[in-house]
């Protein structure tokens, strides 16, 4: 056959150890894994040839090809790294769909060695690997089978993307000049997500700007991870004819020209391109927006069409002040005409004095700014729907005085009539609201006013009137009446007109609380309130104005340095912002904060203010109401100290180390306060101390308090997720080799938490989301316990035999249940094997302890001699061959002896001796018989602990326990 074709035999090294030859592959571990995987998959491929031949075949061929590329040794380091990621992702995906074992890896893609990996890390690696494979399977279900894993991994780490478009030609018989508008569109949300790229096309079939021939290129920028997750993205190309009203109008009368008329639209699904699934560079390019690295694609002549919205990262200094205005739809009465009007909407921007702002409207990227924009005209349509979007870019200082003005005019196809047509109505909307915030995003129902044309051109005629129907209702007028209402010299028309707006500004906010902080100097009496309200502002709004917000906070602190009135509030606000960026949702803003500190932060003497407030919090750590804020501050400590250090550096540059002694003293006092807090045993400081847990001396102080708190909450079934997370982190630290001695600390956890964690596991249902995490914690504790710890564990129970028996009963019941029904998925083989290996070691340790605790040789022989009935028993019949391997007659005899005995205490010694020998035999045999061993051992532990006769106890066990280790006939 040809099943082995494509598998390459590589060089090996023969090593001789004690006369045994060992074959050591002389290749990368990844190559070894690929080779092993291919051999395993090829066998399964044969078994599934009829069912899934294509799927498996393609995966095998991919791995063979990639294996050859790696072995060639010609790949650059960055390409090799990406290829390794692609290979491991393909292997993990293939293993899942072929029902093979889940492979767990480190961050570099290497297979984890379970012997060198902590239990907690192993569990978390399984969770991550399982989640990644599951996400891939979900992508398969969503018809994304061919996504390139290499690119997906690369895109996931890239905050911003771009779609490069090169317009080669417009093959369309138009007959007149035209505008070609290209944009990205989400068909499921029914909205455009980018600006238009506009190309003006001449009637002769060439660009109107002939210099741009063969150079019609645009980059649609600012696309982020949210855009990659869109189910569908379309590339929409609209063609607007510019000329006559009707193409068929070819009579000799002079016709109106320059009218924008709809001509056609083309749509292309670019979802695969956006997701990096298409590699045909002759047709499309999909690249991260990095013009310097792609000079052959992007240059100064390339148009940049920005996303209608913010990119996922807004760097300091990236100033943007764009307002996107979309003409949505209208409804216009035909009036005295027999047919509906040919309505043209003209958009312009005016200030409050009635002066038009020039060159502030952009119809599309690649085109020049204009002063007024004219809409497409729909011929004799009463309810036109335009959905035309333009960008309005106004200087920030002019926004508060500006408004959008929309005028409506009927256009005639005959030039003579068209010239006589005047503006018949007007609508407007102010860009700044009464409270100082910008116009809200979304749709706006504008009021259509009618008046004489000259009056409509006068801004003072309408600016004092309500612009939207909502404002009209707020002023007590009806917005739904069919009759016309007079307001001043204007009349409210029955016509309707809707627009939608989207503000993309790093200087103008729509949040009144944030605005109050940014403009705090205008009303200092509200500063206290504004600082408190900042912490209620949506995080997405805060990060958009990150630089301005931080500047405002530091200016408040510096300009009020003589008073401590605002120091604490500013400190809290700073901690809030740092915590916001630490959140997973905004963690991609970390580089922004770093850039701000290095290049834009300029406050000197701030280090003393920040140090003073932080010290106050630490000194009052035990007071009610302080703990939560102190905990947040400790989490933000890294950036707080970066601000302190940067402030001091800037001060030294200006004043040459002036006040250095005061600065050092303030830091010294702060660290002393932190040390005192760490030595405190109060409940309020427990969470804060986690930061110092890696230091042995600090750990000696912290651990007893932390374990007491964990035990308290676990016993009450409170905050289980937080407890599990904290315990996992503690165990993870104690497993490390570079944190100093840990034997004493493992003992503290064993004494205080082992039994509590066991009981938590026992009480949890298998459907609990935390059961796997708690089993991992319990396994980690047992694994990190040394022989000394096991011996010490029994001593903690004192002289009460019943306490030891109860503990062992709980433990063995738990082991039996976990072995019989794993809490982890079947393909978590490494985790399951680690768990069973730890259980086996624990059982062996408990066996020795049982032998020493219960079967003292002197007492055992004395009890045997006292019992004549049992002393006649041939002990050779009780040789430790294991109940599961003995004949049925032997088992029946053994059970009969137990049932006939009347002295359960003496019997316990005999039975215990027998079972301990059997117990050790099981331990030597390995994991295979663990469950059988648990069931047998539980019977004897019951005999040790029972206060009744063994006959009664066994009868109760058989009758009351559906999972009894006894069969119906009394056999094991």
DSSP character for 628? H
Say how far residue 874 (Cα) sits from the centre of its chain. 68
Query: Which range, 27-31, 688-692, 939-943, has the best average confidence (pLDDT)?
Result: 27-31
Note the pTM of the prediction, 2 decimals.
0.52
Report how far residue 477's alpha carbon sits from residue 481's, in angstroms, rounded to the nearest whole number: 9
* Dihedral angle over CA of 916, 921, 926, 932, nearest 10: -60
8 Å CB contact between 878 and 914:
yes
Q: Which of 169-173, 566-570, 691-695, 907-911 is predicted most confidently?
A: 566-570
Helices (H), 636-659: 637-655
Tell me the Cα Rg of the chain: 39
Q: Are 402 and 374 in contact (CB under 8 A)?
A: no
Strands (E) across 33-110 are located at: none
Is the predicted pLDDT of residue 952 greater than 70, yes or no? no
Residue 152's CB is within 10 A of a number of other CB atoms, namely: 20
CA dihedral 154, 159, 160, 161 (to 10 degrees): 20
Q: Which has the higher per-residue pLDDT, 122 or 675?
A: 122
Which pLDDT value is given to residue 191? Answer: 87
CA 424, CA 420: separation in Å to the nearest integer? Answer: 12
b/e code 593-624 from CB counts within 10 Å (16+ = b)? beebbeeebebbbbbbbbbbbbbbbbbbbeee
Query: Residue 700: is its pLDDT beyond 80?
Result: no
Which H or E run includes 139? helix 119-141
Query: 886-893: long-range contacts at Cβ-Cβ below 8 A with a sequence spacing of 24 or more?
Result: 888/971, 891/971, 891/972, 892/970, 892/971
Q: SS3 of 886, please?
A: coil
Q: Please tell me the distance from the alpha carbon of residue 652 to that of residue 659, in angstroms, as a whole number.
A: 9
Q: What is the pLDDT of residue 278?
A: 64
Number of C-beta neighbours around residue 57 at 10 A: 14
Confidence of residue 359 (pLDDT cuts 50, 70, 90): very high
Q: What is the mean pLDDT of residues 647-655?
A: 87
Contact 542, 359 (CB under 8 A): no
**What are the tens digits of pLDDT across the range 265-315?**
888 888 888 877 765 544 543 323 233 333 444 566 778 888 888 777 677
pLDDT given for residue 863 in this prediction? 39
Residue 346: its pLDDT value, please? Answer: 95
Determine which helix (DSSP H) or strand (DSSP E) holds 486, and give its type and residue range: strand 485-487
In this structure, of 577-581, 603-607, 649-653, the range with the lowest mean pLDDT score is: 603-607
Q: Which CATH architecture has domain 321-474+488-505?
A: Sandwich (2.60)
Between CA 208 and CA 242 the distance in angstroms is: 12
Distance of CA 555 to CAs 125, 437, 552, 603, Å? 46, 22, 5, 8
Give start-end residues of each CATH 2.60.40.150 domain in the chain: 321-474+488-505
CA atoms within 13 A on the CB side of 871: 9
Q: What is the pLDDT of residue 482?
A: 52
Inform me whether the pLDDT recorded for 407 exceeds 90.
yes
First vs last C-alpha separation in the chain: 51
Q: Which residues contact 389 (CB under 8 A, 6 or more apart)?
A: 183, 192, 195, 196, 308, 324, 325, 326, 327
pLDDT-derived band at 12 (thresholds 50, 70, 90) equals very low
Q: Quick one: DSSP state of residue 596? A: I
Of 728, 781, 726, nearest to 752 by C-alpha is 781
160-277+300-306: in CATH 2.60.40? yes
β-pairing verdict for 442-450 and 490-505: antiparallel
* Contact by Cβ (8 Å): 430, 436: no
Q: Which residues contact 268 (CB under 8 A, 6 or more apart)?
A: 234, 235, 237
The superfamily in CATH containing domain 29-143 is Dedicator of cytokinesis N-terminal subdomain (1.20.1270.350)
Distance CA 23, CA 16 (A): 9
Nearest to 233 by CA among 284, 277, 193: 193
Number of residues assigned to the chain: 972
What share of the chain in percent tops pLDDT 70?
73
Pairing of strands 402-410, 343-351: antiparallel
**Whether the predicted pLDDT of 829 surpasses 80:** yes
Q: Cβ contacts of residue 559 below 8 Å, gap of 6+?
A: none
pLDDT digits 0-9 by tens, 875-899? 333 333 333 333 334 333 443 444 3
CA distance 822 to 776: 12
Cβ-Cβ contacts under 8 Å for 425 (sequence gap 6 or more): 332, 407, 408, 448, 449, 450, 456, 493, 495
pLDDT at 673: 84
Report helix, strand and coil shares of the chain as percent, to nearest 5.
50, 15, 35
CA dist 759 and 715 (Å) reads: 9
pLDDT grade for 683, boundaries at 50, 70 and 90 = low
- Cβ 933 vs Cβ 922: under 8 Å: yes
């Amino acid at each position: 056959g040809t099943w082995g074709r494509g598998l390459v035999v590589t060089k090996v090294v023969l090593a001789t150890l004690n006369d045994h030859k060992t074959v050591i592959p002389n290749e990368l571990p990844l190559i070894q894994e690929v080779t092993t995987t291919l051999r395993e998959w090829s066998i399964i491929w044969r078994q599934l040839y009829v069912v899934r031949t294509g799927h498996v075949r393609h995966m095998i061929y991919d791995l063979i090809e990639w294996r050859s590329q790696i072995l060639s040794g010609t790949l650059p380091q960055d390409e090799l790294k990406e290829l390794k990621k692609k290979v491991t992702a393909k292997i993990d995906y293939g293993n899942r769909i072929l029902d093979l074992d889940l492979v767990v890896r480190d961050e570099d893609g290497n297979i984890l060695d379970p012997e060198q990996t902590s239990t907690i890390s192993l569990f978390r690696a399984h969770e991550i690997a399982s989640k990644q494979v599951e996400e891939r399977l979900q992508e398969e279900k969503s018809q994304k089978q061919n996504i390139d894993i290499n690119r997906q991994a690369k895109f996931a780490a890239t905050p911003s993307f771009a779609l490069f478009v090169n317009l080669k030609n417009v093959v369309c018989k138009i007959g007149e000049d035209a505008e070609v508008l290209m944009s990205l569109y989400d068909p499921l949300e029914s909205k455009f997500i980018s600006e238009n790229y506009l190309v003006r096309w001449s009637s002769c079939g060439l660009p109107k700007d002939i210099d741009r021939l063969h150079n019609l290129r645009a980059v649609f920028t600012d696309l982020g991870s949210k855009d990659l997750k869109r189910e569908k993205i379309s590339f929409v190309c609209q063609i607007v004819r510019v000329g006559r009203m009707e193409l068929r109008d070819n009579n000799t009368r002079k016709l109106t020209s320059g009218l924008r008329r709809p001509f056609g639209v083309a749509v292309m699904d670019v979802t695969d391109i956006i997701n990096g699934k298409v590699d045909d560079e002759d047709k499309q390019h999909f690249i991260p927006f990095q013009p310097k690295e792609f000079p052959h694609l992007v240059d100064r002549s390339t148009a940049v069409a920005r996303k209608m919205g913010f990119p996922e990262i807004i760097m300091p200094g990236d100033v943007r002040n764009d307002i996107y205005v979309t003409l949505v739809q209208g409804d216009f009465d035909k009036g005295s005409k027999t047919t509906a009007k040919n309505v043209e909407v003209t958009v312009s921007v005016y200030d409050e004095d009635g002066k038009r702002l020039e060159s502030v409207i952009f119809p599309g990227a690649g085109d020049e700014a204009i002063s007024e924009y004219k809409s497409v005209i729909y011929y004799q349509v009463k309810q036109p729907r335009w959905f035309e979007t333009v960008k309005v870019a106004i200087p920030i200082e002019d926004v508060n005085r500006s408004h959008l003005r929309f005028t409506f005019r009927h256009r005639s196809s005959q030039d003579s009539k068209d010239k006589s047509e005047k503006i018949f109505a007007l609508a407007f909307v102010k860009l700044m609201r009464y409270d100082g915030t910008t116009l809200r995003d979304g749709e706006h129902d504008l009021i259509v006013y009618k008046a004489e044309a000259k009056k409509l051109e006068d801004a003072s005629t309408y600016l004092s009137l309500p612009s939207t129907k909502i404002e009209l209702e707020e002023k007590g007028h009806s917005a739904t009446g069919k009759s016309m209402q007079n307001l001043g010299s204007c009349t409210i028309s029955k016509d309707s007109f809707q627009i939608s707006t989207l503000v993309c500004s790093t200087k103008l906010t729509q949040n009144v609380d944030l605005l109050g902080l940014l403009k705090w100097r205008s009303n200092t009496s509200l500063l206290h309130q504004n600082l408190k309200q900042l912490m209620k502002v949506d995080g997405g709004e805060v990060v958009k104005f990150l630089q301005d917000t931080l500047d405002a906070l530091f200016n408040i602190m510096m300009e009020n340095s003589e008073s401590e009135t605002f120091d604490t509030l500013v400190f809290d606000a700073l901690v809030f912002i740092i915590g916001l960026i630490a959140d997973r949702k905004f963690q991609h803003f970390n580089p922004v904060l770093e850039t701000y500190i290095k290049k834009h932060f300029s406050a000197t003497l701030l280090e003393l203010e920040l140090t003073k407030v932080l010290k106050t919090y630490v000194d009052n750590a035990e007071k009610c109401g302080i703990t939560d804020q102190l905990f947040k501050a400790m989490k933000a400590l890294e950036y707080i100290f970066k601000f302190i250090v940067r402030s001091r550096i800037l001060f030294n540059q200006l004043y040459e180390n002036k006040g250095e002694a005061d600065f050092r003293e303030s830091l010294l006092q702060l660290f002393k306060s932190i040390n005192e807090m760490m030595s405190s045993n109060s409940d309020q400081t427990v969470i804060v101390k986690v930061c110092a847990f890696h230091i042995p001396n600090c750990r000696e102080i912290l651990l007893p308090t932390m374990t007491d708190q964990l035990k308290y909450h676990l016993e009450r079934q409170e905050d289980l997720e937080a407890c599990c997370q904290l315990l996992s982190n503690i165990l993870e630290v104690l497993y490390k080799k570079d944190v100093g001695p840990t034997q004493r600390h493992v003992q503290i956890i064993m004494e205080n938490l082992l039994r509590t964690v066991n009981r938590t596991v026992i009480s949890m249902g298998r459907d609990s989301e935390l059961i796997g995490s708690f089993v991992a914690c319990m396994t980690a504790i047992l694994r990190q316990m040394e022989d000394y710890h096991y011996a010490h564990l029994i001593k903690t129970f004192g002289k009460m035999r019943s306490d030891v028996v109860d503990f062992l009963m709980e433990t063995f019941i738990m082991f039996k249940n976990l072995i019989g029904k794993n809490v982890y998925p079947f393909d978590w083989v490494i985790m399951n094997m680690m768990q069973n290996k730890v259980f086996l070691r624990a059982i062996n340790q408990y066996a020795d302890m049982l032998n020493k605790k219960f079967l003292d040789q002197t007492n055992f022989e004395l009890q045997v001699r006292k019992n004549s009935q049992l002393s006649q028993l041939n002990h050779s019949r009780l040789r430790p061959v294991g109940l599961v391997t003995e004949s049925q007659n032997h088992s029946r005899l053994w059970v009969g002896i137990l049932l006939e005995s009347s002295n359960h205490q003496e019997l316990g010694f005999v039975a215990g001796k027998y079972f301990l020998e059997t117990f050790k035999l099981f331990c030597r045999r390995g994991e295979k018989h663990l469950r059988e061993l648990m069931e047998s051992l539980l019977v004897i532990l019951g005999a040790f602990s029972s206060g009744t006769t063994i006959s009664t106890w066994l009868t109760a066990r058989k009758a009351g326990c559906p999972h009894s280790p006894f069969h119906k006939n009394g056999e094991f």
